[in-house]
Amino acid sequence: MNPNWAVSVALAAIAGGIFFALQVRRAHATVASILRTDPPRIETKPGTDADLLLDAYLIYHGSDALDRLLDAIDQHRKEYGQ
C-alpha cells in the first residue's frame, strides 16, 4: 500500500471521528434544550434596565418624543433635587 493512501485513510478516519463527535454533541444539546423545564434566569431585576426602556420608547414614539421625555426627566430631577 502506498504511504500516501495510508495517510489519507488516517486523516479521513480522524475527520470522521470529529464529525461524529460534533453530531453527538449537537444531538445532546438538542435533547437537553427540549427537556429543559426551568425558564432561563434573568440576571437583572425587572424594570431596572433604563437603557432598554429608553430604546423601546425611541422605537415606538420617535426621537422628538424621546427628547421631550428626557427633558421632562431632567426637569423633574431639578425640581426635586435628585
Tally the domains of the chain: 2
Give yes or no for a contact between 14 and 22, defined as CB atoms under 8 angstroms apart. Answer: no
Give yes or no for a contact between 57 and 65, defined as CB atoms under 8 angstroms apart. Answer: yes
Together in a domain, 33 and 61: no
Together in a domain, 36 and 52: no
Residue 81 has pLDDT above 60, yes or no: yes
Cα 43-48-54 angle, rounded to 5 deg: 120
Cβ-proximal residues to 65 (8 Å cutoff; 6+ apart), any chain = 57
Together in a domain, 28 and 51: no
Give the C-alpha separation, 30 to 23, whole Å.
Answer: 10
**Tens-digit pLDDT profile for residues 16-42:** 888 888 888 888 777 777 776 666 566
Q: Is the pTM of this model over 0.85?
A: no
Structural domain harbouring 55: 47-82
Together in a domain, 52 and 36: no
Together in a domain, 33 and 65: no
Together in a domain, 57 and 35: no
Residue 1 has pLDDT above 60, yes or no: no
